[in-house]
């Protein structure tokens, strides 16, 4: 029997914490690593800033679409909840199974390994694997203590991350020597923006923006979710968009494009160019601290998926149990063990490569569900309506479709395997059907 969660708003997830989860989940290593490959193909500062701005606009289009569904169906678990309601419970189970097994565990393992690698800038003798694993365990133990403690930790960790990024931006503008470049548009930029390189770069930019939907995974634990979830999604995504554009502008403003082109660790290169070896170490420390909050966000929201699935599916009932502090302990431990397994076997990069297509397909189906429900169920109460409808969901769908096409043509085998991983959720669905005539989805 699961413990009841106190209805007192003090035990609920606040809008500030939810926005912090969005920011923390979005800002990983992507923004600090991808510019080098973009400037190699798009040697235009203006076009690069347009690229990152377009990525932010697309993420906002997804956020406003998810916000409409979150306000309509305020239950944790993200796509599991929405696809179950819009299409059929089996669609929700497939998406939920993907998220519950590797959808969050693999990014947690990747972030932990990246943290271990970047820590060498500060502590060269540190063993990356052991350090990354230790961070996962420490964050998980904080999360297990309760909503209030984990909420405070998440808010503080994200606040520190943002403060350090802002300090880095201010110091770079104030102290570094500017490069002889211009961010003003030129005639040649039309060709850059319409080029295949721009379109392909957008795929990787959107990976850096992933996480804009993070608050939907904890909506059932939020105070006043109809109002606070849309605010958290939009404020968090808009804020990260501003930071991303500013960071890329700073890298271009302070570091020669030739020094950035083809480099993976562009933030370290820029830090060294701006402030010497000390700058490189400071950037390494900044990324490490930022990754702690990213791991915390994913270790918080990921377990909510299988926990909610356990409320509906008898075979997963064990994961629905909560502690007296309102924490789905079994679900958190399950994701902790999955992340450790992937980290120890070094299989997380292969898993991430395989599941990208399936994850984008789930988001595509969710946003398409906004349009479908507007047509088929106009009578449903909508406490929040997607701003800019129908253009905002259509923009997101077009970009998502392009990304799926790119993945299918460039990585057909990995995409097919990812769909098979998601399809294995059918076993869970049919096991649940054996004990009942239908899979129910709670409205709470």
Judged by DSSP in three states, 226 sits in helix
What mean pLDDT do residues 312-333 have? 91
pLDDT of the residue at 350? 87
pLDDT at 439 over 80: no
Residues 6+ apart with CB under 8 A from 287: 29, 32, 114, 115, 118, 267
pLDDT digit string, tens, across residues 233-274: 999 999 999 999 999 999 999 999 999 998 888 898 999 989
Judged by DSSP in three states, 387 sits in coil
Distances (CA, A) of 397 to 95, 290, 363, 370, 389: 17, 30, 9, 11, 12
Q: How many Cα atoms within 13 Å fall on the side-chain side of residue 394?
A: 4
pLDDT at 390 over 50: yes
pTM score over 0.75 = yes
Burial class (CB in 10 A: 0-12, 13-18, 19+), 317: middle
Name the phi and psi angles at 222, rounded to 5. Answer: -95, 150
**H-helix or E-strand containing 45?**
helix 45-72
Residues 6+ apart with CB under 8 A from 363: 62, 79, 213, 396, 400
265/296 Cα distance (integer angstroms) = 23
Angle at 173 between CA 167 and CA 177, to 5 degrees: 135
Write out the two tokens for 282.
């400071």
What mean pLDDT do residues 216-228 have? 92
Output the DSSP codes for 308-349. HHHHH-GGGGGGG---TTS--HHHHHHHHHHHHHHHHHT-HH
pLDDT at 444 over 70: no
pLDDT at 363 over 70: yes
Per-position b or e across 5-20, b if 16+ CB within 10 A of its CB? beeeeebbbbbbbbbb
Q: For residue 212, which of 226, 181, 233 has the smallest C-alpha distance?
A: 233
232/16 Cα distance (integer angstroms) = 7
pLDDT of the residue at 138? 96
In angstroms and rounded to an integer, the radius of gyration of the C-alpha atoms of the chain is 21
State the average pLDDT for the chain: 90
425/92 Cα distance (integer angstroms) = 10
pLDDT digit string, tens, across residues 159-202: 999 999 999 999 999 988 899 999 999 999 999 999 988 988 99
108/348 Cα distance (integer angstroms) = 9
223/232 Cα distance (integer angstroms) = 12
pLDDT digit string, tens, across residues 277-306: 888 888 888 999 999 999 999 999 999 999
The proportion of the chain whose per-residue pLDDT surpasses 90, expressed as a percent, equals 73
Helices and strands per DSSP (H, E), number in the chain: 20, 0
Q: For residue 154, which of 74, 232, 99, 76 has the smallest C-alpha distance?
A: 232
Residues 6+ apart with CB under 8 A from 420: none
Name the phi and psi angles at 279, rounded to 5. Answer: -65, -40
Judged by DSSP in three states, 254 sits in helix
Say which CATH topology domain 9-433 has.
Answer: Amino acid/polyamine transporter I (1.20.1740)
Judged by DSSP in three states, 136 sits in helix
What mean pLDDT do residues 313-330 have? 90
Rounded to 10°, the helix 147-175/15-26 angle is 60
What mean pLDDT do residues 142-148 have? 90
Write out the two tokens for 362.
């789930």
Name the phi and psi angles at 20, rounded to 5. Answer: -65, -35
360/303 Cα distance (integer angstroms) = 20
Q: For residue 381, which of 11, 64, 28, 73 has the smallest C-alpha distance?
A: 73
pLDDT at 226 over 50: yes
pLDDT digit string, tens, across residues 107-125: 999 999 999 888 887 888 8
Q: For residue 252, which of 57, 44, 33, 34 has the smallest C-alpha distance?
A: 44
Q: Where are the domains of the chain?
A: 9-433
């Amino acid at each position: 029997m699961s413990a009841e969660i106190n209805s007192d708003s003090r035990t609920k997830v606040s809008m500030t914490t939810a926005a912090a989860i969005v920011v923390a989940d979005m800002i990983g290593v992507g923004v600090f690593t991808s510019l080098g490959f973009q400037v190699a193909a798009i040697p235009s500062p203006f076009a690069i800033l347009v690229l990152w701005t377009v990525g932010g606009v697309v993420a906002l289009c997804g956020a406003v679409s998810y916000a409409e569904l979150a306000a309509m169906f305020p239950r944790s678990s993200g796509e599991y909840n929405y696809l179950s309601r819009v299409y059929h419970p089996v669609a929700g189970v497939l998406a939920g199974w993907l998220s519950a097994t590797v959808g969050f565990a693999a990014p947690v393992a990747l972030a932990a390994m990246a943290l271990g690698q970047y820590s060498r800038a500060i502590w060269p003798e540190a063993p990356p694997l052991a350090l990354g694993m230790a961070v996962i365990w420490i964050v998980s133990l904080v999360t297990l203590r309760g909503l209030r403690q984990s909420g405070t930790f998440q808010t503080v960790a994200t606040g520190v991350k943002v403060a350090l990024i802002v300090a880095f931006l201010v110091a770079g503008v104030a102290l570094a020597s500017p490069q002889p470049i211009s961010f003003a548009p030129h005639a040649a930029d039309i060709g850059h923006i319409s080029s295949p390189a721009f379109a392909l770069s957008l795929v990787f930019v959107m990976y850096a923006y992933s996480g804009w939907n993070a608050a939907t995974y904890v909506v059932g634990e939020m105070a006043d979710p109809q109002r606070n979830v849309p605010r958290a999604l939009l404020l968090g995504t808009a804020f990260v968009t501003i930071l991303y554009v500013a960071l890329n502008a700073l890298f271009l403003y302070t570091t020669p494009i030739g020094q950035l082109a083809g480099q993976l660790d562009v933030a370290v290169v820029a830090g060294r160019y701006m402030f010497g070896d000390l700058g490189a170490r400071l950037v390494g420390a900044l990324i490490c601290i930022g990754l702690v909050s990213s791991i915390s966000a994913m270790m918080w929201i990921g377990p909510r998926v299988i926990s909610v699935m356990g409320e509906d599916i008898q075979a997963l009932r064990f994961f629905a149990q909560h502690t007296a502090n309102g924490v789905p302990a079994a679900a958190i431990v399950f994701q902790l063990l999955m992340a450790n397994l992937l980290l120890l076997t070094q299989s997380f990069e292969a898993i991430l490569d395989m599941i990208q297509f399936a994850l984008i397909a789930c988001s595509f189906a969710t946003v398409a569900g906004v349009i479908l429900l507007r047509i088929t169920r106009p009578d449903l109460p909508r406490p929040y309506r997607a701003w800019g409808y129908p253009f905002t969901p259509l923009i997101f769908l077009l970009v998502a479709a392009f990304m799926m096409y790119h993945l299918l043509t460039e990585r057909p085998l990995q995409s097919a395997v990812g769909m098979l991983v998601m399809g294995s959720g059918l076993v869970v669905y049919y096991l649940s059907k054996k004990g009942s005539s239908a899979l129910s989805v709670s409205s709470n």
